[in-house]
Amino acid sequence: MTPLPDFLLEPVVRAALTEDLSPMGDVTTRAVVPADKTCVARLNAREEGVVSGMQVAALAFRLVDAGLSVQIHCADGHACSKGQALMTITGSAASILMGERVALNFAGRMTGIASLTAAFVAQTQGTQTRITCTRKTTPGLRVVEKLAVTHGGGHNHRFGLSDAILIKDNHIAAAGGIQAVLEAAKAARSHMMRVELEVDTLDQLEEALAVGGADVILLDNMDSPTLRQAVALAAGRVVLEASGNMRLDRIAEVAATGVDYISSGALTHSARTFDLGLDF
């Protein structure tokens, strides 16, 4: 996978470094570590998983000190084993210590997301169903959390409110019904803008198909038998996304219904931080 340009990630990393080092830098390191001390540090995995955040961690170290030499041994999107060295950082000990926590925070968070996503994706084996994330991300960290989902083999849903027209139940209630919102969306959309409609029942799905105008229909909180009926009813006319209560232990069953996508907020809001360590 081609990495994102560093300049797109730099504002997020710079903000984290500023949070950690302001206003007076690393007073502990400045007090006890000689300025001319150099060392080699290794970023090690302490469990098995799918790696993410190496590009971001490397960027954190380089922003602290452009003179640091950073070598990535396990690229983002690749599996790692317990005890494996993922990265080596060589240079000023003080600089490495200043960047350590921010680098570990990003890499641990992102590898946790990638590893959980990979577990979800594994449950779809043998089907055409894809796993996608949602907008339930940590404020300010959406770009790196959604990037981690792709490293785990998942796909990204919209990045924000301006990417696509996604009509949810409150939009329907406020606008006066499914026909009203779909007709309004058709009138407002550009030729590049897709429309997705959330439905809770098969009756709503039937109405949406009859009115037309939706490219994607989100099937919200439906059980598996109902999802199978929805797939049969749609008969390939629209893309179907299943969402709501999508736990890891349910993914294989949902994928078997034939839906095109399964979206889960858990990928980003409930992923466990991966156990990493930086050792001199």
| Residues 232/211, Cβ–Cβ less than 8 Å | no
Give the 3-state secondary structure of residue 272: coil
From the candidates 30, 37, 168, 237, give the one annotated as an active-site residue: 168
Q: How many CB atoms lie within 10 A of CB 259?
A: 27
Tokens found for residue 67: 């003179």
Active site residue 206: no
Pick the catalytic residue from 76, 220, 241, 260.
220
Catalytic annotation present for 48: no
The answer to whether residue 186 is catalytic is no
What's the rounded Cα separation, in Å, for the pair 36 and 38?
6
Rg, the chain, Cα only: 22
Q: Which of 213, 217, 265 is nearest to 240 (CA)?
A: 217
Residue among 46, 136, 186, 189 flagged as catalytic: 136
136 is catalytic: yes
Catalytic residue among 101, 135, 186, 194: 101
Amino acid occupying residue 258: G
The C-alpha atoms of residue 262 and residue 197 are separated, in whole angstroms, by 15
Residue 249 annotated to the active site: no
Q: Which of 26, 100, 145, 198 is catalytic?
A: 198
Amino acid at 100: E
Q: Which two tokens stand for residue 171?
A: 């939009």
- Which residues are designated catalytic? 101, 136, 168, 198, 220
